[in-house]
Chain A
Amino acid sequence: MTDLTRLTIAEAREKLAAREITAVELTDAYLAAIDSANASLNAYVAPTPEKAREMAKASDARIAAGKAGALEGIPLGIKDLFATEGVHTQACSHILDGFEPRYESTVTQNLWNDGAVMLGKLNMDEFAMGSSNETSYYGPVRNPWRAAGSDADLVAGGSSGGSAAAVAAFLCAGATATDTGGSIRQPAAYTGTVGIKPTYGRCSRWGIVAYASSLDQAGPIARDVRDAAILLKSMASVDEKDTTSVDLPVPDYEAAIGQSIRGMKIGIPKEYRLDGMPEEIEALWRQGIAWLKEAGAEIVDISLPHTTYALPTYYIISPAEASSNLARYDGVRYGLRVDGDDIVDMYEKTRAAGFGMEVKRRILIGTYVLSAGYYDAYYVRAQKVRTLIKRDFDLAFAAGVDAILTPATPSSAFAIADEALAADPVKMYLNDIFTVTVNMAGLPGISVPAGLDGKGLPLGLQLIGRPFGEETLFRTAHVIEQAAGRFSPAKWW
């Protein structure tokens, strides 16, 4: 029999519906793959094989009864940031030791309601703070991709490194992920997968461990654009439990795939042409422009003048929100507690032992920028700059631009434990330079594989859409995918 894990969601969906395969067979194939690969890739921190088989069985029963949901029997990996009832949910942090919520996040509940099967919880940067998955309490994820002729371990990107690696290495049919500054799109670009961060408010944040509330959005990482569209359709919803959930019906994203982009106006922002950007990235971008032009799109140069300020703005706003969001991890109601002489001592010891270095760094920065005397200079100023960043996009869209094309990342995947990056947190932060603007403006952004670099590593292009312009993104990304082809790593694990 062919390797079932190679099927895309769309393909598996058909075979399941046609009763050519069963959900249990499909799930077992993935569980076997996880079993043999996870020690090498470290993509899963908590596989849930029993639950998976049980859910798959139920899926088969529903298929037999003619009651199949949109994702019936599709085995998925879930980022450890999503609360899953009775299952390990720790945001890959020591501080949530042993935490098993008595509730299910809205996004995952939506997936189960549509019949999906949970394979387990995926590795990630601790509290989604990182760009390399190296801040995880469970250790870094290894990228299934390696440079040609090298056996050096590369990062899978972050923070959704486990999601991206699991999808790329066929350890799940698709995965949930979240994106606060690029945490879906950057790892997708590093692993040759498709990742979309939808418009802020499209997916409910209820039950997703918060990092920076005004920026966090859930989205899928998938093997191709169609699968991403299928997954997002199920993940997205209007949720009365999330104040920031936007009251708009969820469209059928898959229907957008294959539609022509003729006449569409694609903006090319000059500010994304960075000094010292590798020529390969430039070339990829030019290639992307050419593909879209060939498909009938109109290419226009645009200016987003505050782009350069997005990253520093992000590094004020996100730590500020995080410093407050993470105050609840205090050893009182759940997770780790380290005893102390008194309550303050207990807090300080618990949080010192429970949080990793990067999380502490961001909490301290966030605490500092909100503290008396600095609030206006840092936080308020940053929120004003954020207004300006969003205004840049508003103006571009008002001028008729339908989508914006940029590189997804300034490089391909880098080595695990890169010394230069470890020594300077800011260097690591620069990884998000192309993606973070999108979060600042609340816009949808998709990363789609567009080619390989000289080392044979995948590179991605990013498309940025208008608010709730996800269909345009799927439609346009599909054009790039058609032109660029698909990319899979050579199996070494």
Chain B
Amino acid sequence: MSVDIDTVKRVARLARIAVSEEEASRMTGELNGILGFVEQLSEVNIEGVEPMTSVMPMAMRERRDVVADGGIADDIVANAPVSDRNFFLVPKVVE
């Protein structure tokens, strides 16, 4: 499988990364290089093989239902580019 420049632009849009025409064009080549490289996986016989979900066989660690966190609004917004009264501010969103 290979990608064309429109696919690269669509994927960049999905990933919310602005790409110039020139970048998109260069990345099309690079992405095709990588996709060509991974293409060899199609020769592996994977019939009846389960996809890996966890590399170490273990039960999922669970937490007790206690409030042990929060109350740190100042820390939460400390690094925010724009904030006001502990809210994060972003360009207006329309629904």
Contacts and interface: CB of A to CB of B under 8 A. Distances in A.
B18 to A, nearest CB: 4
Interface string A48-85: 00000000000000000000000000000000000000
Contact of A368 (B31, B81, B91): B31
Interface string B16-36: 111100000001001101110
B56 A364 contact: no
Given A200-B56, A316-B41, A361-B27, A346 B19 contact: no
B67 interface: no
Contacts of A491: none
B54 to A, nearest CB: 7
A386 B49 CA distance: 10
Contact of A425 (B33, B51, B54, B72): B33
Nearest to B10: A371
B52 to A, nearest CB: 4
Interface string A352-371: 10010000110111011001
B23 to A, nearest CB: 8
Most chain A CB inside 10 Å of its own CB: which residue of B15, B49, B61, B72: B15
A388 B49 contact: yes
- Counting chain B residues whose Cβ lies within 8 A of the other chain, the interface size class is 35 or more
A138 interface: no
A352 B9 CA distance: 13
Contacts, number: 171
B38 interface: yes
A365 B34 contact: yes
Contacts of B60: 243
Contacts of B17: 348, 351-352, 355, 360, 363-364
Contacts of A242: 61
A489 interface: no
Contacts of B33: 424-426
A367 B11 contact: yes
Contacts of A245: 61
A346 B91 contact: yes
B80 A332 contact: yes
A247 B35 CA distance: 38
Interface stretch (A11-19, A33-41, A334-342, A413-421): A334-342
B31 A364 contact: yes
Contacts of A388: 44, 46, 49
Contacts of A381: 41-42, 44, 46
Contacts of B19: 352, 360
- Counting chain A residues whose Cβ lies within 8 A of the other chain, the interface size class is 35 or more
A467 B56 CA distance: 8
A360 B27 contact: yes
A240 interface: yes
Contact of B58 (A98, A201, A361): A201
B47 to A, nearest CB: 9
Contacts of A469: none
A385 B27 contact: no
Contacts of A313: 38, 41
Contact of B52 (A340, A360, A390): A390
B85 to A, nearest CB: 15
23 contacts: A99-B79, A102-B72, A214-B54, A246-B56, A247-B61, A309-B40, A309-B41, A312-B39, A315-B38, A316-B38, A327-B16, A332-B81, A332-B90, A346-B91, A348-B13, A364-B8, A364-B31, A367-B15, A368-B3, A374-B1, A378-B38, A440-B55, A442-B56
Interface of B: 1, 3, 7-8, 11-19, 27, 30-31, 33-35, 37-42, 44, 46, 49-56, 58, 60-61, 63, 72, 75-82, 88, 90-93
